[in-house]
Structure 1
Amino acid sequence: MSNVIKSAVLFVGALMIALIVRVVIMSGSHQTKPVVDTQKVLVSAADLPQGLLLRDADLGWKAVPVAEVAVGAIVAGVPGAPDLKGALLRHATASGTVLMAEDVILPNAPGFLAATLKPEMRAVSVAVDDVSGNAGLIQPGDYVDLLLTQQMDRRTDSPDLAVSSETVVEHVRVLAVGSEIQRPKSGDATDAIGNRARTVTLEVTPRMGEVVSVAARLGSLSLALRSFATASRDPDASKPASSAQRAPVWAGDISRAVRDLPRAHAVQVSAAAPAAVAPRAVAIYRGSEKADATATAAAGGDSTPPPLPAVPPQR
C-alpha cells in the first residue's frame, strides 16, 4: 500500500507542478494592449476643386489618434465647432485632407457672396414663385437652366405661335435663394428657406446678365434644375461643351388641339389704285367780288390766293 500511496502522491504533485508551469507560461505570453484614444476629425471625402460650395457628400469623418490631431482641426462632438456645409473652399483639396476653418470662407462671413463669384462673373437675381422655383427645392450651390415662356397671342393671329418657350441661359450656379446663401441641413430641404423665397441669385457672365434682364421683361422665367452627376466636380470643367442656340418650342409643337384650330383670315389689301379725291372748292373774295379758285385754275388763271394784309405795328 505504501507504494501505491507514494505513486499517488507523486502523480498529484506532478499534476500540480504542470498546472503551475502552464499558468506561469500563459501569464508570461499574455501582453496587455495599450489603450489608444482617437478622435474623429473632419476631412474631404473626395478631390475638391477651388471655389466649390461644400455639401454633405464633400465632407467625411476620419478617426485620428489624439496625439496626431492637428491644431485647428474640426473635431466631432466639440461644442462650437464651425459647420463647413455651404462654405466656399479657398483652395483645391485632395481626398482625405483634414479641413480647418482657415480652408474655407463661411457663409456668414462678410463679403461671402462676392468671394463666391469666379473672376469676371456677375451675380444677378431673378424673380421666382413656388412653381418656377421648383417648389423651393433649388438650393445654393445647385446648377440650373433658365427658361423663358412668352404669350405671343398679341403678336400673331396663328394659334400655333400663341405660346413659346426657350432656354435662354444654361448651366449657371445658384448663389443664393432669397436671402439665404447656405444650403439647409439634411432633411430641411422643404423648409421656409425655399417656400418663402421670391428671388434666386445666379452666377452669370456679363453677357448672360444682359440676357436675363431682357428675358425678365419679355415673359415669365422658370428654373430647370441640372444634375450633380458630372464627370468632374470642377465648376469650370463641368460646363456643357456646346452652347449652340436651340430652336424655341411653340404651342403648335406640343398641342395637336392648337394645331387644329381654325386660322384667322388675313386682311386682303386691294391692289387697285385709290380713288381720286375731288378737290375742295375754295372761294376767293376780292372786295365785293367772289371767285371760285377751282374754276380760275381750270381757266388758266392764277389760283394763288392773295396775301393776307399786314398786321399793323403795335404802338
Structure 2
Amino acid sequence: MSNVIKIGLLLLCAVLIALIVRVVVAGVSRPSVPHPSTEKILVSAADLPQGLLLRDEDLTWKPMPIADVPPNAIVYGAPGAVELKGSLLRHPLASGTPIAAEDVMLPGAPGFLAATLKPEMRAVSVAVDDVSGNAGLIQPGDYVDLLLTQQMDRRTDSPDLAVSSETVVERIRVLAVGSEIQRPKSGDAPDVTNRARTVTLEVTPRMGEVISVAARLGSLSLALRSFATVTRDPAASASAGSPPPVWAGDISRALRDLPRARSPQGVTTGARSGSASPPAVTIYRGSDRSDALSSSAQSSGAAGNNVPPLPSQRAPL
C-alpha cells in the first residue's frame, strides 16, 4: 500500500474521530430539559353565576399537575381548543374551577339566545344609531342604562322645560347587537362599517312595557355601565332609586334666566294681551249659527263693539 493511501486513511480517521468527540462534548455540555410535570388549564377567575356570558376577565390559566388534570379540561396550547369567550355558562362555578366545553353553551348552538335569558326574563329590541348606540362599541354581555329624551315644546310654554331627559331602566344586560350574540375576540377591532341598528336587551316584563312606551314618547339612548361592580348579580347592583329627570333649564343658564315677561320675539306679555282680541264664542240656534264674544269679554267692555249679549239661558232648538 502506498504512502499516499495510508496518509489519506489516517486523515479520514482523524476527521471521524474529531466529529465523534465534538458530538459527545456537545451532548454533555447541553443542559438536560426536564419533562414538564404541570399543564396550564382554563379555570374560572371568580365565582361565576349561572347564565353569565363569559368575558376574558372571567377566565384565567392555572398550572396543575398533569396527574390531576381533568380529562375534559381545556389545556393551554392544545390544538383545536374551544373558544369559550362569549359562551353562556350553564351552571354556577366557584373561583378556580376548571371549565370544560360541557359547562357552557356556545353561541352557535340552537336556542342560544333563549337560553341566555334568566327565568321570568324577556328579550326586547330597541332601535339605535351611531350616537345612541355608543358608536357600535357596546357588545353582547355589557350592562347599560336606558335614557329617554323628550321634546316638551308642544306640552309646555316654559322654555326651561322644553327638553327633558331621564333614566327609565337601569343596569340591563345586552343579549345581542344586531344579529351578533357573541363578543368579538381579543384584538379584533369592532366592525365600524356595518354597525347594528338594533340592540336586544334582557328585561323583566314590567321593564319591557316601560321601554315600549318610552320608545313612543321620545328618543332612546344607551349608557354603558362599568364592569367594576361589587357583585355580578344585576339585582344586587341596581340603584336603590331612579334619579330625577333633567330639564333644559337645569343645563342651560340662558333658558333658566330668560325673562318670563317677554316672548321669544321680545314683545311683553302685557302688551300682547292688551292688543289681543277676546276669544269668540259660536252660538247654534237650530240650523242658524252666529259668533259672539265670551261673557267675560262682554263684562269688561266688549258690549261697545256692537256685539249682541249672550243669552242667559240656552235658546230652544
Normalising by the residue count of structure 1, what TM-score does the alignment of the two structures yield? 0.71
- Which residue identity lines up with residue 69 of structure 1 in the other structure? V
The 3-state SS of whatever aligns with 1:224 is strand
Q: In 1, distance between residues paired with 2:310 and 2:58?
A: 86
Total equivalences in the alignment? 247
Which residue pairs with 1:49 in the alignment? 49
Judged with a 3 Å threshold, the aligned counterparts in structure 2 of structure 1 residues 112 and 163 are, in CA distance, closer, same or farther, namely same
* One of 249, 252, 269 as aligned partner of 1:252: 249
The 3-state SS of whatever aligns with 2:211 is helix
Deviation at 1:226, TM superposition (A): 1.2
Deviation at 1:117, TM superposition (A): 0.7
Q: In 1, distance between residues paired with 2:50 and 2:226?
A: 20
Deviation at 1:262, TM superposition (A): 4.6
Contact 1:52 1:235 in 2 (8 A): no
Deviation at 1:277, TM superposition (A): 6.3
Q: How does 1:117-196 map to 2 (within 5 A)?
A: 117-192=117-192, 196=195
In the alignment, does 2:237 pair up with 1:238? yes
Query: What are structure 1's unaligned runs of at least 5 residues?
Result: 1-31, 280-303, 305-315
Percent identity of equivalent pairs:
76
Which residue pairs with 2:308 in the alignment? 276
Contact 1:147 1:222 in 2 (8 A): yes
Judged with a 3 Å threshold, the aligned counterparts in structure 2 of structure 1 residues 149 and 40 are, in CA distance, closer, same or farther, namely same
Which residue pairs with 2:3 in the alignment? none
Larger mean CA deviation between 63-72 and 100-109 belongs to: 63-72
Larger mean CA deviation between 62-71 and 225-234 belongs to: 62-71
Which residue pairs with 2:285 in the alignment? none
Contact 1:148 1:221 in 2 (8 A): yes
Which residue pairs with 2:218 in the alignment? 219
Judged with a 3 Å threshold, the aligned counterparts in structure 2 of structure 1 residues 67 and 218 are, in CA distance, closer, same or farther, namely same
Q: In 1, distance between residues paired with 2:122 and 2:146?
A: 16
When the two chains are superposed, the root-mean-square deviation of aligned CA atoms in Å is 2.7
Deviation at 1:68, TM superposition (A): 3.0
What does the per-residue CA deviation read over 1:43-88, in whole Å, with 9 as the maximum and x for residues that have no partner? 1111111121110011011223334322221122223221111111
Q: In 1, distance between residues paired with 2:310 and 2:45?
A: 91
Which of the pair has more CA radius of gyration? Answer: 1
Contact 1:51 1:90 in 2 (8 A): yes
Larger mean CA deviation between 86-95 and 60-69 belongs to: 60-69
Judged with a 3 Å threshold, the aligned counterparts in structure 2 of structure 1 residues 278 and 200 are, in CA distance, closer, same or farther, namely closer
Normalising by the residue count of structure 2, what TM-score does the alignment of the two structures yield? 0.70
Q: In 2, distance between residues paired with 1:33 and 1:123?
A: 55
In the alignment, does 2:258 pair up with 1:261? yes
Contact 1:36 1:65 in 2 (8 A): no
Q: In 1, distance between residues paired with 2:106 and 2:192?
A: 21
Q: How does 1:105-124 map to 2 (within 5 A)?
A: 105-124=105-124
Q: In 2, distance between residues paired with 1:166 and 1:33?
A: 65
Judged with a 3 Å threshold, the aligned counterparts in structure 2 of structure 1 residues 69 and 192 are, in CA distance, closer, same or farther, namely farther
The 3-state SS of whatever aligns with 1:236 is helix
Deviation at 1:35, TM superposition (A): 3.2
Which residue pairs with 1:292 in the alignment? none
Q: In 1, distance between residues paired with 2:116 and 2:189?
A: 22
